[in-house]
Structure 1
Amino acid sequence: MPAIDLGPDPLALDRQVCFALSVASRSVIAIYRPLLKPYGLTHPQYLVLLALWDKAPRTVKELCETLRHDPATLSPLLKRLAALGYVSRERSRSDERALTVELTEAGRAFRKEAEKIPYRVVEELGMDLAELEQLHAALGRVIAATGR
C-alpha cells in the first residue's frame, strides 16, 4: 500500500472528511425541515416512514438495523409517529418480546404526498442529478468502509 500524504497540515479543518460530512448533513437536513413541518414530521421520523414504505410491517429490531439506530433512539420516534396516526405498534403474536410496526391507512396515504419531497430537495440543492447519484454511491462506500 502506498504511503498516504495528507499534505503539510493534516489537521486543517477544511480538509477533514468528518467536518465536510457533518456540515453537509446538517445543511441537507435543513432543506427537509420546512418540507416536513406541515405534516408534523421531523427528518428522523421521515426516515422511519421511508423504511416502512419500502417494507412493512417490520419489527423494531428490523427498523433499528435498517436505520442504524438503537432501540432507545427509535422508540420515541415510533411513539410520535403513532400519535400522529402514521403507524401502529403491536406486540408480535409469535414473540411477545418483538414489537411490530405497521403503517396505518394515513401512513400509506401520506406516501403519495411524500413523493414530492425528493424532487423539492433536488431542486433546492441545485445540483445535477448524476452528481447527486455519484455522491450517494460514494457515501455508500464510506458507510460500508466503517462497518456500519
Structure 2
Amino acid sequence: MAGTDTTTGLEQMICFELHAASRAMTGLYRPALDALGLTYPQYIALRVIWHRGRLTVRDLGTALHLDSGTLSPLLKRLEHQGLIQRARGTDDERTVWISTTAAGAALEQRAADIPERLACALDLTIEEFTHLHHLLSRIRDTAAATSTI
C-alpha cells in the first residue's frame, strides 16, 4: 500500500541523527536564549569568552571550530549589542583581541544556569550524559582528522 511507510530511509544514517539531535538541542536552548537576546552561536561564543577571559579572534574561532567568515559577523552583532569589545593588538595590528564589556559580564550571571537546565531536560542519567559527551567528542575529533570517506 503506497504512502503508508512513515520512514524516510534517513533513520539508519548516524549523520542525520546527529544533525537532527543538534537541531533539537538548539531548540531546547531557544526559550532561555531568547530571554537573554542571544542566538545559540552568540551564546557559545560568550561561553568561551566568559571561561577564558580576554582572547584573540583566532583562538575563539579555534575553540568554536568556526572560520573567520562565520565568526566576524557574529562578533560584530555581539559588539553592537554592547556585550563584547574588540581591540587591535598593539604588537601586531592583525591580531584582534576580544573581551566582555560590563554588560557582557553581567549577562554571564543571568545565563549561568542554562547548561544545568538543559541537562535536566534531557532525561539522561549522569552516566549516560557522560558517555554521550565522550562519544560525541570522539566523533568530532575523528571526523576532523579524516579528510574523506
TM range (shorter): 0.7 to 0.9
The structure 1 segments of at least 4 consecutive aligned residues displaced by more than 6 Å after TM superposition are none
**Match of residue 4 from structure 1:** none
Quote the Cα distance in structure 1 between the aligned partners of 2:104 and 2:133.
Answer: 26
CA-atom RMSD in angstroms: 1.5
Q: Following TM superposition, by how much is the alpha carbon of 1:96 offset from its aligned partner in structure 2, in angstroms?
A: 0.5
Q: Following TM superposition, by how much is the alpha carbon of 1:127 offset from its aligned partner in structure 2, in angstroms?
A: 2.0
Give a deviation string over 1:36-91, Cα, whole Å, max 9, x none: 00111000000101111121211111111110101010011111111111110111
The TM-score, its normalising length taken from structure 1, stands at: 0.87
Counterpart residue type for residue 78 of structure 2: L
Q: Following TM superposition, by how much is the alpha carbon of 1:116 offset from its aligned partner in structure 2, in angstroms?
A: 1.0
Aligned pair count reads: 138
1:1-148 equivalences in 2 (<5 Å): 12-147=9-144
**Structure 2: 5+ residue runs without aligned partners?**
1-8
Q: Following TM superposition, by how much is the alpha carbon of 1:103 offset from its aligned partner in structure 2, in angstroms?
A: 0.9
Contact in 2 for aligned 1:52/1:102 (Cα 8 Å): yes
The TM-score, its normalising length taken from structure 2, stands at: 0.87
Give a deviation string over 1:94-137, Cα, whole Å, max 9, x none: 11011111111121222122111012112222222321121111
**Structure 1: 5+ residue runs without aligned partners?**
1-11
Contact in 2 for aligned 1:122/1:129 (Cα 8 Å): no
Quote the Cα distance in structure 1 between the aligned partners of 2:122 and 2:114.
Answer: 12
